[in-house]
Amino acid sequence: MDKKLKDKLENLKERYKELQNLLAQNEVIQDIERLTQYAKEFNEIKEKVELFLELESIDKQINELEGVLKEKHDPEFLKLVDQECNQLKQRYRDLEEKITSSLTLPQNDKDIIMEIRAGTGGLEASLFAADLYRMYTKYATKKGWQIEPIYAHPTELGGFKEIIFGIRGKGAYSKLRFESGVHRVQRVPTTEASGRIHTSTATVAVLEEPKEVDLVIDPKELRIDVFRSSGPGGQGVNTTDSAVRITHLPTGIIVTCQDERSQLKNKQKALRVLRARLLEIKKKEQLDKISHLRKSQIGTGERSEKIRTYNFPDRRVTDHRVGLTIYRLEEILEGDLDELLEGLDSLQKE
């Protein structure tokens, strides 16, 4: 193993042990901010250190077996030892490659929570929100990602005033992180008798879903209300107080979830959404501190930006941030997003 890499791993191992001791101290456990900071760091290096410890163990076993091979033993026994030694060496090489990748490759395998809300345009805006939801879930299915409904506020015509769902899978964050913003549609609504083209909007938010150790919420800062679910949900949906509304008192953020029949499951989902929104606020505050000019640059991801237009008469989709226009509207709405998302590579480098 490269000496520089080994030294880095040795330092991580020492820090790992230090964090284990810190996380067991009462004064740290009682300090939410320090506990969150140490737990996050511990979680980030845990896998790398455990791989390194396994690598050290295998290295020790190889040395012991190579010592045995130098001694005089039965040929059949030495043959078995040699086979085992070769297997360990292959495992060592595989582990070394995995550790190197974990230290050098960007970590973009984050789960996300997507929120789509109808904007201007009344019922047509809610139908467009449903189209976007269908587009993203079809794309996620093609990528083999897992989709998890969290909250929905449907309309009578099959649209959504609001829809929140989670996406889990390798590359979900890196592929969809720049979808946040105002999406605009230009088409003749199904409710329009005169054939006049309307312009409506929907807002998309892509939130990185933090793990519990990344952002700890003080229970004292929460007000939790339960009530009976009012939407579709099968038998018993209106007979138990299973829906949950969580208010984060310091920020005023309110999250409601009634997708599950279980009050506990609804609470867990609502907390996930709340945690993601709080992390988004924290990241935005950090960006604002770095530079106020960042807001005016392409690719800031501000939700007030009109990032894309879906024009039905011309069958075109235009991303305004990079000036990209694609004349494959139907395919894009069916989840064929690769060409469109690859066109945003310049934003990934910002």
Residue carrying the six token digits 């990602």: 145
Q: Are the beta carbons of 300 and 350 closer than 8 angstroms?
A: no
pLDDT score at 62: 92
- CATH second-level architecture of 219-290? 2-Layer Sandwich (3.30)
pLDDT at 13 over 50: yes
The overall pTM is greater than 0.85: no
Count Cβ neighbours within 10 Å for each residue of 251-260 and write b for 16 or more, e otherwise: eeeebbbbbb
Instruction: Please provide the average confidence, as pLDDT, over all residues in the chain.
Output: 83
| Encoded tokens for 258 | 């009634």
Quick: pLDDT tens for 141-184: 999 999 988 889 999 889 999 999 999 888 898 889 899 999 99
> What is the CATH architecture assignment of 112-211+296-348?
2-Layer Sandwich (3.30)
Least confident among 76-85, 135-144, 192-201? 192-201
Distance CA 177, CA 209 (A): 12
**Distances 167 to 33, 103, 334 between C-alpha atoms, Å:** 28, 25, 17
Q: Give the pLDDT confidence of 29-43 residue by residue, as tens digits.
A: 888 878 887 887 888
Note the pLDDT of residue 214.
58
Rounded Cα gap, residues 261 and 240, in angstroms: 8
Alpha carbons 83 and 89: distance in angstroms, whole number: 10
Q: Over the stretch 308-339, which tens digit does the pLDDT of each residue have?
A: 999 999 999 999 989 999 999 999 999 999 99
Looking at the chain, the whole-number percentage of residues with pLDDT higher than 70 is 85
H or E element in which residue 167 lies: strand 160-168
Tens digits of residue pLDDT in 78-119: 889 899 999 999 999 888 888 887 775 445 567 899 999 999
| 3-state SS record for 3-23 | HHHHHHHHHHHHHHHHHHHHH
Instruction: Locate 270 and state its tokens.
Output: 């609502």
pLDDT at residue 115, as a whole number: 94
Give buried/exposed letters for 180-202 (b at 16+ CB in 10 A, else e). bbbbbbebebeeeeeeeebebbb
Residues 224-245 pLDDT 10s: 998 877 654 444 444 567 889 9
Return the C-alpha torsion angle 229, 234, 236, 238, nearest 10: 30
